[in-house]
Chain A
């Protein structure tokens, strides 16, 4: 019997109010993020029961899923979206919850603003009615997505009834190639483990390749832990985490910061702690990736093309995408590029795109949308002059929101069109009915924007190796 514990178990145990006999645990929640789409029914539930929000000061709201990414100073045109956003505003006012709504300098995608404001911190439990809540795990905390009934539970009691997931370790050793990004890394892992590979588990990502990632890159990795079916992913906090958080708007200060730091430094998996399952990978095996099917597990290195399979689900996916087994992807013409979403819409993503776009121009056949993850990212991009680089390249810099990741607002990809997207899901119709999504890194998306085809970023710096004639 060992007393060594995983990071996940340490944080879970700290937050366990008690275990229900033969049932789930009552887990205390430190931070609850809410947005307009998955909360109106939860607030209605509170009203029906005649109860309030137990800890409104631990709840933070923003409007992101439904919001337009143009002319945000004007009323929302689409009536149902407008109503949902207004409902959030009314509910926050009635129940005393801080709202970073449209026009607020802190507004943005819920998983972008939590970290950038220093609200997300190591050791916490965080939930949100959105599956990509796993993003926050990059800070060494337990963060996971929940349904609306669970949102109501947390509003009412600051707790959630939850079965403790199993522990999974994913270790990635060695160094990533220079042309390989965090997005390629996570797409690679999902392609190896499958979309159900993590079901029932919480994943700790570790190993030298994970350590070497910046905080924003770690967020990209944890963001997509849900796409392998995991309840969430987390990465132990280290000096990079502390450096990122220090001085942020709501980060602890002075003595509180010192006390926090002392605590956070204890938050790591003990030597000898047991995991329910372990997967080990070598970073050097990973190449720039792209998806070709209708779930995130259908990914391949750009150069390898589509594999062969007789599986009916696989073939029906390819049918939707209008691809064939064995087909080459390199050079395939595309129509849209979307750079945004809680996966890849942070300042480092925009800088990476700008570096490749500088002095170049988008292909005529492609429409390019860049949607920053937050108002603060947008302002930072402008302060650094990235907006001018994008404008000269013919890329359209829009305003913050979830946008074409799920097409709840006007930003939809038309039926039958191919979109290279930095988002997280390539499900049928995800970006609009009939739209065909190819998930990739911001760098690959930039290369696609400029060449009009599926191309790795390497093609921009070494054009002699690629066929770049117009699509």
Chain B
């Protein structure tokens, strides 16, 4: 997993609420057996017409900057648990998604792929969306160390939450599996414990 410290970038804006993972990557593109190449079909049905031609009015087709940050309406990533949604966003080049809140499974999937979900207040989200609507060249600074998001060239800044374990993982590019494998003896001790055996023997 790629390390995450600080990013300054322009941002692509999709000011829609409840963007579900079926929109991020439709089910018919989930048939690959590797993690690579999902960016090609990111927001497939919003980006392309049925005949494969580009939709002229969709932000990922019109946005003039190679942005690393996606800003979206609240409840981003709801619906299906498909991690392919996080893979597609990362493969396309995003490292940060900003929303007033995220669906739980998506949030975990994002963090497991070095994609930082930045949850901001509804008020900050509103300011940010208006700012991006009025000037698509607006840059954002996202600093994981100080857990802050800042609209560059303005006083608009907000702190965001992330638990310190996940922060450490992102800063160091570590994943949960490494951590759990290091805890294997504790896991096996738990399996063998009276606490577990007393009620689980019949499983």
- Residues in B with CB closer than 8 Å to A249 are none
In whole angstroms, what is the CA distance A313 to B72 when docked? 12
Residues A259 and B16 in contact, CB atoms below 8 Å apart: no
Does residue B143 face the partner (Cβ distance < 8 Å to A)? Answer: no
**Pair B163/A51 contact, Cβ less than 8 Å:** no
Q: How far is the CA of A65 from the CA of B31 in the complex (A)?
A: 10
Whether A26 and B27, one on each chain, are in contact in the complex, defined by CB atoms closer than 8 angstroms, is: no
A367 CB-CB contact with B under 8 Å: no
Kindly state whether residue A252 has any CB partner on chain B within 8 Å.
yes
**Whole-angstrom CA separation of A26 from B56 in the bound complex:** 47
1/0 per position for A3-46, CB-CB distance to B under 8 A?
Answer: 00000000000100110111110101010000001101100110
> Which B residue sits closest to A165, measured CB to CB?
B104
Q: Mark B188-203, 1 if CB is under 8 A from A, else 0.
A: 0011000110011111
A149-B87 Cα distance, complex, nearest whole Å = 11
Interface residues of B in 78-124 (CB under 8 A from A): 78-84, 86, 101-105, 108-109, 112-113
Query: Which residues of chain A are within 8 angstroms of B191 by Cβ–Cβ distance?
Result: 28, 158
Is A349 interfacial (CB 8 A cutoff)? no
Contact of B27 among A158, A295, A407 (CB under 8 A): A407
Given A38-B82, A229-B103, do A17 and B177 touch, yes or no (CB 8 Å)? Answer: no
Taking CB as reference atom, which chain A residue is nearest B183? A26
Whether A159 and B187, one on each chain, are in contact in the complex, defined by CB atoms closer than 8 angstroms, is yes
CB-based contact A259/B177 at 8 Å: no
B63 close to A (CB within 8 Å):
no
Chain B CB within 10 A, most for which of A17, A66, A406: A17
Contact of B180 with A by CB under 8 A? yes
Interface pair A149/B181, CB less than 8 Å apart = no
With the chains together, A254 CA to B63 CA distance in Å?
Answer: 66
Bound: A18/B164 CA distance, A: 16
Which residues from 1 to 39 on chain B have a C-beta closer than 8 Å to any C-beta of chain A? 15-18, 20, 22-23, 26-28, 30-35
Q: Is A195 an interface residue (CB 8 A)?
A: yes
A23 touches B166 (CB 8 A): yes
Instruction: Mark A142-170 against chain B: 1 for CB-CB distance below 8 A, else 0.
Output: 00011111101100111101110100000
Across the interface, B165 reaches (CB within 8 A) one of A20, A30, A121, A259, namely: A20
- Which of B15, B32, B108, B180 touches A26 (beta carbons < 8 Å)? B180
Whether B40 sits at the interface, judged by CB under 8 Å, is no
- A316 closest partner in B (C-beta): B16
Most chain B CB within 10 A, of A81, A131, A152, is at A131
Q: Which chain B residues border A23 with CB–CB below 8 Å?
A: 163-166
**Closest beta carbon of chain B to A40's beta carbon, Å:** 4
Given contacts A23-B165, A41-B35, contact A130 B81 (CB under 8 A): yes
Q: Are B187 and A429 in contact (CB under 8 A)?
A: no
Q: Residues of B contacting A238 with CB < 8 Å?
A: none
**Residues of A contacting B112 with CB < 8 Å?**
147, 149-150
The answer to whether A157 touches B180, judged by C-beta atoms less than 8 angstroms apart, is: yes
A465 at the interface (CB under 8 A from B): no
- Asked if B186 is at the interface (CB within 8 A of a chain A CB), the reply is yes
Give the contacting residue for B187; candidates A17, A81, A162; CB below 8 A: A17
| Chain A residues closer than 8 Å to B190, beta-carbon distance | 17, 28
The minimal Cβ–Cβ distance linking A432 to chain B, given in whole angstroms, is: 9
Cα(A81)–Cα(B31), bound, Å: 6
Residues of B within 8 A of A407 (CB): 27-28
Take A156-B177, A157-B177, A433-B26 as given contacts and tell me if A124 and B203 are in contact as well, using a CB distance cutoff of 8 Å.
yes
B152-189 vs A, CB cutoff 8 Å, 1 = contact: the mask equals 00000000000111100000000111011101101100
B177 — which chain A residues lie within 8 A by C-beta?
A: 45, 49, 149, 152-153, 156-157
A229 and B104 contact, CB distance less than 8 A: yes
Whether A375 is near chain B, meaning CB under 8 Å from some CB there, is: no
Report Cα–Cα, A28/B62, bound state, in Å: 47
Instruction: Tell me whether B202 and A200 are in contact (CB under 8 A).
Output: no
Contacts of B23 in A (CB 8 A): 427-429
Residues A145 and B179 in contact, CB atoms below 8 Å apart: no
Interface residues in A238-264 by Cβ distance below 8 A to B read 252, 256-257, 259-260, 263
A14 engages B186 (CB within 8 Å): no
A305 at interface by CB-CB < 8 Å: no
**Complex contacts, B28 vs chain A, CB 8 Å:** 407-408
CB distance from B188 to the nearest CB of A (A): 9
Cβ of B83 and Cβ of A38 under 8 Å apart? yes
List, in ascending order, chain B residues with CB within 8 A of A129's CB.
Answer: 81, 83
Q: Tell me if B27 and A408 are in contact (CB < 8 A).
A: yes
Tell whether B68 is near chain A: CB-to-CB under 8 Å. no
Residue of A nearest to B31 (CB): A80
The answer for the CA separation of A28 and B199 in the assembled complex, in Å, is: 14
Chain A contacts of B187 at CB under 8 A? 17, 26, 28, 54, 157-159
Neighbour of B181 across the interface among A18, A51, A87, A429, CB < 8 A: A51
* Contact of A374 with B by CB under 8 A: no
**Which B residues lie within 8 Å of A406 (CB)?**
22, 27, 80
Complex-state Cα separation, A81 to B203, whole angstroms: 34
By beta carbon, the residue of chain A nearest B180 is A157
Contact yes or no, B108 A229, CB < 8 A: no
A470 lies within 8 A of chain B by Cβ: no
Partner of B31, one of A24, A150, A312, A408: A408
| Chain B residues in 8 Å Cβ range of A199 | 75, 101-104
How many Å from the CB of B14 to the closest CB on chain A?
11
Tell me whether A157 and B33 are in contact in the complex, defined as CB-CB below 8 angstroms, given that A24-B163, A28-B191, A147-B109 are known contacts.
no
Can you report 11 A-B residue pairs in the complex whose CB atoms are below 8 A from each other? A21-B165, A23-B163, A23-B166, A40-B33, A51-B181, A87-B33, A147-B108, A195-B78, A408-B31, A427-B23, A428-B22
Across the A-B interface, the 9 shortest Cβ-Cβ residue pairs: A23-B165, A147-B83, A80-B31, A147-B109, A40-B33, A149-B112, A22-B164, A145-B81, A256-B202
